[in-house]
Structure 1
Amino acid sequence: MWKETLLLTKRSLLVTLRNPFSFIPNLIISVFFLLVYTSGLSGISALPQFGGVDYLNFILPVSIVSGAVGGAGGAGQALVKDIENGYFARLLLTPVSRTAIVLGPMIAGMLQLFVQTLLIFGMAFLLGLTIPAGAPGFFFTVLLALGFGLGFAGYSVGVALKTRNAQAAQAGTLLFFPLIFLSTTFVPKELIEAEWLKVAATINPTTYIMEGMRGVLLWEDIDWSALSKGLGVALVLGLAMVVFAATNARSALKK
């Protein structure tokens, strides 16, 4: 199965590289978020609730998470194209593992996000980013991004298999974007005045991913509590979405 998964992952990556405009706009948007928010909102980091941290470090997770939603979501779009052009049906006629059919595009989406995250970090370093925790802070941030990306790629693939429609699959992935802004996106939770928004941020899994990243980006001493919550949410989300994708894959195979 793993050899088949590797081959299908490689194919998905090659398809993506042949069509760079499938991921370049999403990368530009993520970098745009970073530039605009850092330039326009950096002054609020002088508030006591920020504890003197650099606002660039605070807002960087927003750029990475938004990139995960757009980048990993391409896995579902690629699968819909395979369904529409008949490649998926031909693939089912081969003895290839059905699990590999699902995992291939998911892993490809996660790897695409990995490269995208490195590029966003590169832009942040050009803007003056320093990570007080050093290499561990960088490593754990990338790990959280990959965990969230795998989960979202699974969701994207699951929606694609369920709908078998490009427009419906795209609409399904867009539902994740509001989660970014119903979170501690721009300020700590203590500065959110609307009670309903505080509740939304508390039950929002995106909050714990971003807070986990901030736990390793903002201070020299890693906030292990925030990091462990972020890793836990990424793990649960990833497993849940893999199951979701696999369940819809079985339904698609029956059809």
Structure 2
Amino acid sequence: MGNSVWKDTWLITIRSVKTTLRNPFSFIPNLMISAFFLLVYEGGLSGISQLPMFEGANYLAFILPVSIVSAAIGGAGGAGQGIVKDIENGFFSRLLLTPASRLAIVLGPIIAGMLQLFIQTLLIIGIAFLLGLEVETGFGGILFVLLIAIGWGLAFAGYSAGVALRTKNAQAAQAGTFIFFPLIFLSTTFVPYELIEAQWLKVAATINPTTYIFESMRTVLIDGWIFWDLMQGVIAIVIACTITITFAAVSAKKAVSRG
């Protein structure tokens, strides 16, 4: 049974990846937007790093997580879009008539979305290095940033898949993903928490899980291996993934029962 699940998941993941590659415009715009964020923010706001609160930190390393998280939100939405397309063209219903694992039917597009995000993140980090990125923790720090990005992408992919299975509508699945973009800006997006002046924005940043994703990435890029600062991002991912993957699993069960 276990081998069957893994085999089915592998086959459906490969199919989802091939489907994405056949339609590059499903992910190229998201990659371009993320790269645009990096270029514009670094070019227009890098002078902020001269403030004493930054302590001479490289603003490029500070703003890089914003570009990566925006890619995670957009890229992970591909999981939901893939499921909706399968529902609309009847492939999802045909899969339900086969012995394929029901878990694999949902996991395949989610894993494909994570792989897409992994490639996007590598490209964004490559652009950052071309712009002069310096990483305090070296290659190990880059690996940690990649793991955080993939974990955050998994959380969004689970949510996207759950919305797609609930609504079976492409527009609803897309809209369900985009509501998370405000989370990027209700956080420590451009300046450290200490420099945020509006009290309401400080409260929003405190309860916003994106803040802890940003801080864990920035810590490993700028400050080094500070255990608790890194673990805050890991904990935020574990909580988010638990909620969204459970949501996707429950939605999948209901979708399968409806046939």
Structure 1 length as normaliser, TM-score?
0.98
2:238 to 231, 235, 239: 235
Alpha-carbon contact 1:215-1:224 (below 8 Å) kept: no
Q: Map of 1:188-203 to 2, 5 A cutoff?
A: 188-203=192-207
In the alignment, the residues of structure 2 paired with residue 143 and residue 189 of structure 1 have an alpha-carbon distance, to the nearest angstrom, of: 24
After superposing the two structures, state which structure 1 stretch, 8-17 or 128-137, moved more. Answer: 128-137
Deviation readout 1:36-64 (Å, 9 max, x if unpaired): 00000000111111121000000000000
Deviation at 1:181, TM superposition (A): 0.4
**Matched residue, 1:37:** 41
Among all aligned residue pairs of Structure 1 and Structure 2, give the percentage whose two residues are the same amino acid: 67
**1:99 lines up with 2:103 in the alignment:** yes
Structure 1 contact 27–67 (Cα < 8 Å) conserved: yes
Q: Deviation per CA, 1:225-249, whole angstroms, max 9, x where unpaired?
A: 1110101111221122111100000
What pairs with 1:54-65 in structure 2 (closer than 5 Å)? 54-65=58-69
Secondary structure (helix, strand or coil) at the match of 1:162 reads helix
Give 1:247's aligned residue: 250
Instruction: Report the TM-score, using the length of structure 2 for normalisation.
Output: 0.97
The answer to whether 1:129 aligns with 2:133 is yes
List alignment gaps of at least 5 residues for structure 1.
Answer: none
Instruction: Give the total of aligned pairs.
Output: 254
Superimposed CA distance per residue, residues 102-161 of structure 1 (whole angstroms, 9 cap, x where no aligned partner): 111111100100000000011001001111111111011001000000110000000000
CA RMSD of aligned residues (A): 0.7
Q: What is the DSSP-based 3-state SS (H/G/I as helix, E as strand, rest coil) of the residue aligned with 1:183?
A: coil
Moved more, 22-31 or 240-249: 240-249
Structure 2 counterpart of 1:76, which letter? G
- Structure 2 distance, partners of 1:241, 1:15, is 24
Aligned letter for 1:37? Y
Corresponding position of 1:108: 112
Aligned mates of 2:83, 2:229 — CA distance in 1: 35
Q: Structure 2: which 5+ runs fail to align?
A: none
Instruction: Provide the rounded CA distance (Å) in 2 between the counterparts of 1:130 and 1:45.
Output: 14
SS of equivalent to 1:80:
helix
Select 1:226's aligned residue among 222, 229, 247: 229
* Counterpart Cα distance in 2 of 1:215 and 1:111: 25
Runs of 4+ off more than 4 Å: none
What are the superposed Cα offsets for residues 63-104 of structure 1, whole Å, 9 maximum, x if unpaired? 000000001111101110110000000000001111111111
Equivalents in 2 of 1:226, 1:142: separation in Å?
A: 16
Q: Give the corresponding residue for 1:19.
A: 23
